[in-house]
Amino acid sequence: MDLDRLVNVDDFHAAARARLDPMAYDYYRSGALGERTLAENERAWGRYAFRRRTLVGVADLDARTSVLGSDLSFPVMVAPTAFHRLADPEGEVATARAAAAAGTVMVASTLATVALEDVAATGAPRWFQLYVFTDRGLTRELVERAVAAGYTALVPTVDTPTIGIRDADQRNRFVLPPGMELANVTRVLGPDDARSGSALRAFSAQFDPSLTWRDIEWLAGLCDLPVVPKGVVHPDDARAALASGAAGVVVSNHGGRQLDGEPGTADVLPAVVDAVGDAGVVLVDGGIRRGTDVVKAVALGAAAVLVGRPVLWALAAGGQAGVERLLGLLRDEVLDTLRQLGVPRLADLGGAHVTRHP
């Protein structure tokens, strides 16, 4: 694969589609039910337009930032997504190395196909996405392992009382191929189950519909890491998160894979930013495909964004080098957008730089 010919997320998507097993491709691409939210996520960024300033002096640009103690070379992080070995034999290790090379953080998923300790061994800057499982002992154990392995923030996902219904996965009877496992949770399933085709189904029972903010409070008390619940879209839930000890929230609808029919995250971000104020950080993901989307998100008050599917496409297209190229392209686009917009430093970006289309 000549990665130099891939110049945007759509190119990576097409290349990935050509290389991936159709079952894996469908798993990565799908949204829940009618996929309205999946589509809205991308569309919603387009509802904002820039208010450009001119002759500001944009010879020197600085897109660096820092989020909860993690330095980012530009405000894009790698979203937690499951099963990277479906895309590349090195799986999450390749993604982590690419994120580190690009000067950003990988949020590693609980549902990784490489154990969290092996991701940590790359030395890449890392946060850990946590599913709070029915088995709280297992949950606590995952937290302890993440702390011991040097992860610097915990990201409990709060939009998954149960796994969303995705038509293609049902049609395909999605299973992990032989040789791949839910590497972080072999203990609870037992190595045979964790490797078997039915692992996912066996595991679904671990998604706990009884979760409340009290569980986030419990989690925040388990360790000293900042806790950033992911999957908040309502301002009252953002307030509840902070009241439960969270250091911020990730505005997310799980890339349209959970409740179909909710708005794109760009549409709900401003109200969450208002609710959080100075009391925490707000991150956002969903449908971010261009540097312009990133800059709009930061202008609307996000500290940084996360990208999910684009990284999976890049991993499938070119492994670690593919993800490095994708993140490099996004960084170039962010810098270009700041320059065109008349904002030399990310810190100067604000609400005055965007407006909503009527």
Task: Provide the binding-site residues for ligand FMN, judged by CB under 6 A.
Answer: 27-28, 41, 79-82, 109, 111, 129, 157, 230, 252, 254-255, 257, 285-288, 307-309
Q: How far is the CB of 331 from ligand FMN (least distance, A)?
A: 16
- Calculated CA dihedral for residues 354, 343, 329, 253, nearest 10 degrees: -30
Q: Is 234 a catalytic residue?
A: no
Q: Which is nearer to ligand FMN, 83 or 346 (CB)?
A: 83
Residue 164 neighbours by CB under 8 Å, 6+ apart: 31, 32, 33, 254, 257, 258, 259, 260
Q: Which two tokens stand for residue 309?
A: 């599917």
Q: How far is the CB of 63 from ligand FMN (least distance, A)?
A: 19
Distance CA 77, CA 75 (A): 7
Q: Which is nearer to ligand FMN, 156 or 301 (CB)?
A: 156
Rg (C-alpha) for the chain, rounded Å, is 19
* Phi then psi dihedrals of residue 66, to 5 deg: -140, 130
Q: How far is the CB of 307 from ligand FMN (least distance, A)?
A: 5
**Candidates 13, 84, 254, 353; catalytic one:** 254
DSSP state of 227: B
Residue 133, amino acid: F
Q: Which is nearer to ligand FMN, 157 or 292 (CB)?
A: 157
Query: For ligand FMN, which residue has the nearest CB?
Result: 308
Q: How far is the CB of 249 from ligand FMN (least distance, A)?
A: 13
In sequence order, the β-bridge partners of residue 227 are: 154
Residues annotated as catalytic are 254
